[in-house]
Amino acid sequence: MNNNKEEQLNNVLYSMKGAPKAKPPTQLFTKIEQELASQSKVIQLKQLSIVAAALVGLLILNLWTIQALQQNRQLSTQKQSNNPNISLMSNYKIYQ
Amino acid sequence: MNVNAEELLSRIAAEDRQAFQQFYQLFAEKVFNTALSYTQNLQDAEEVTQDVFTSIYQAAANFKAKAAVNTWVYRITVNKSINFIKKKKRLTLFQLNYTQKEQTDFEHPALILENKENAKLLFQFIESLANKQKTAFILSFVEDLPRQEVANIMGISLKAVESLLQRAKKNLRSKLEKSYPNRRI
């Protein structure tokens, strides 16, 4: 009885040993090729979006710099016009 | 076969689609059957196989001749299969009854009727093994690979493979014995 049980246990444990292999579906390679083709498109789109993001970043940086420069200029001209003490000549008695 | 496969890989790295098709023909059956042993579902095995070959195509340039191509392909397949199962378990967490039913009903498509019942029982219990024991068992007793190659694929010593197999067989035996009164084993 025990030997029989042991044999049956072994039959289950080694039931796949030397068993024939299952065949993959015939259309699987076509599917893989399609997947690869779609992935290369995705990569291109990804690269494009990275380039676009970099360009937008550069544009924003440029605009910010121009704005900052303009503000700086305005401030310096305002300072100059608001300051009454500044004059080109401090002594008008030239011929003394 | 390995020299040829290495050459094919270097051609695949140069985006040679014909070489890729040849490579697929060499390894498709191995990849598909290994994935089938893990997923126990034809559609899932197909998905894993697709994922494995897509990765091989993209990583062909990174292949290092230190390992045999066969070992490299099996390693990718094992990792992809384990990740697929993890992902599927996460996704179907709320549909638990569906996945359990699907897995216990698995019948290997290539088996003859005589072995079908035994294999069905075996796959049902393989499912409950820890990942390392499962990998050692599948590669040794389902894929029929030599122990040294199993060790290379798993990145462990021959001794460690033997110990994993002993534990796997012990666990499977105790589970099969417990089911003994209910089944004709």
User: Which of B37, B46, B147 should be substituted to probe chain A, the one whose Cβ sees the most A Cβ atoms within 10 Å?
Assistant: B46
Q: Does A64 touch chain B (CB under 8 A)?
A: no
**Do B118 and B78 fall within a single domain?**
no
Q: Which of B69, B93, B117 is the last residue of a domain?
A: B93
**CATH code of B162's domain:** 1.10.10.10
**B99 within domain boundaries:** no
**B12 within domain boundaries:** yes
**Do B88 and B4 fall within a single domain?**
yes
Instruction: Give the separation between CA B128 and CA B171, rounded to whole angstroms.
Output: 9
Q: Which of B93, B123, B149 is the last residue of a domain?
A: B93
**B20 within domain boundaries:** yes
Q: Does A94 touch chain B (CB under 8 A)?
A: no
**B130 within domain boundaries:** yes
Contacts for B153 with CB less than 8 Å, ≥ 6 apart: B71, B74, B75, B78, B135, B139, B145
**Do B88 and B111 fall within a single domain?**
no
**Do B78 and B7 fall within a single domain?**
yes
Instruction: Give the separation between CA B48 and CA B34, rounded to whole angstroms.
Output: 10
**Do B175 and B87 fall within a single domain?**
no
Instruction: Give the separation between CA A35 and CA A29, rounded to whole angstroms.
Output: 10
Please name the residue of chain A whose CA is at the shortest distance from the CA of residue B15: A36
Interchain proximity B24–A29, CB inside 8 Å: yes
**Do B143 and B180 fall within a single domain?**
yes
Contact list, A17 vs chain B (CB under 8 Å): 141, 144
**B24 within domain boundaries:** yes
**B101 within domain boundaries:** no
**B157 within domain boundaries:** yes
Q: Could you give the count of Cα atoms lying within 13 Å of A64 in the half-sphere of its Cβ? A: 6
Which residue's structure tokens are 């002993």? B166
Note whether A5 and B180 are within 8 A (CB): yes
Q: Which of B68, B93, B118 is the last residue of a domain?
A: B93
Q: Does A35 touch chain B (CB under 8 A)?
A: yes
**Do B158 and B87 fall within a single domain?**
no
ipTM above 0.90, yes or no: no
B28, B37, B141 ranked by CB distance to A17: nearest: B141
Q: Does A11 touch chain B (CB under 8 A)?
A: yes
Please name the residue of chain A whose CA is at the shortest distance from the CA of residue B57: A36
**Do B151 and B67 fall within a single domain?**
no
**Do B86 and B26 fall within a single domain?**
yes
Closest CA to B45 of B88, B97, B94: B88
**B149 within domain boundaries:** yes
- For B145-176, letters b (16+ CB in 10 Å) and e give beeebbbbbbebeeeebeebbebbbebbbebb
**Do B123 and B171 fall within a single domain?**
yes
pLDDT digits (tens, 9 = 90+) for A25-84: 999 999 999 988 888 766 667 778 889 999 999 999 999 999 999 998 888 877 766 666
pLDDT digits (tens, 9 = 90+) for B148-176: 999 999 999 999 999 999 999 999 999 98
Percent of chain B with pLDDT over 90: 66
**Do B89 and B130 fall within a single domain?**
no
**CATH code of B27's domain:** 1.10.1740.10
Q: What integer pLDDT is reported at residue B181 of this predicted model? A: 56
With bands split at pLDDT 50, 70 and 90, how would you rate the model's confidence at A87? low
**Do B130 and B68 fall within a single domain?**
no
pLDDT digits (tens, 9 = 90+) for B25-36: 999 999 999 999
Q: How many distinct structural domains can be found in chain B?
A: 2
- For B82-108, letters b (16+ CB in 10 Å) and e give bebbeeeeeeeeeeeeebeeebeebeb
Interchain proximity B29–A23, CB inside 8 Å: yes
User: Which of B18, B20, B21, B33 should be substituted to probe chain A, the one whose Cβ sees the most A Cβ atoms within 10 Å?
Assistant: B33
pLDDT digits (tens, 9 = 90+) for B36-64: 999 999 999 999 999 999 999 999 988 88
Pinpoint the alpha helices (H) of chain A. 2-13, 28-82
User: B135 lies in which domain range?
Assistant: 107-185
In angstroms, the separation between the Cα of residue A11 and the nearest Cα of chain B is 7
With bands split at pLDDT 50, 70 and 90, how would you rate the model's confidence at B13? very high
